[in-house]
Amino acid sequence: MKTKLKEELDSYINSKVKFTPYYKSMKHIVSSALFEEQLQAILSSFEKEECNSAKSFKLYLDTVIINMQSKITKYKPSLYFDGENVKDIENQGFVIPFYSDEAEEIYVLLGIIKKTTNDNDT
């Protein structure tokens, strides 16, 4: 997983891929293809259990992501990367590594991973 996350970050930094806004009206928060793929898999697994669980998870996740820039100092450096510009959001048992591109004032959602007890090894 660590390799896939690093590939997404490298793609963004080297402008190999155009990342899409998390919401169309929000140009300062973008998501990688890996994040979108993982999020859809999580939502699908919730929908199999109960549709309301998926809606509740997504609504709370949206709130956290929309407000992330105002709470940037609260997030810890990422377990998956070295450096200050990548941090982790922990939300409802998941970890969302994101890159803070200060020059462009953009936050890049790199992935969303189920939190485990051995996240340092992933």
Q: What is the pLDDT of residue 118?
A: 63
Domain extents for the chain? 2-121
Residue type, 46: F
Q: How many C-alpha atoms does 121 have within 13 Å on its Cβ side? A: 3
Q: What is the pLDDT of residue 25?
A: 78
* Predicted TM-score of the model (pTM): 0.86
- What CATH superfamily is the domain 2-121? RelE-like (3.30.2310.20)
User: pLDDT averaged over consecutive 10-residue blocks of the chain (122 residues)?
Assistant: 90 86 86 94 81 84 90 90 89 93 92 78 46
Contact status, residue 86 vs residue 80, Cβ threshold 8 Å: yes
Sequence-separated (6 or more) residues with CB below 8 Å from residue 39:
31, 61, 112
Q: What is the pLDDT of residue 72?
A: 87
- The token pair at 33 is 């293809």
- Secondary structure of 68-102 in HEC code, one letter for each residue: HHHHHHHCEECCCCCCCCEEEEEECCEEEEEEEEC
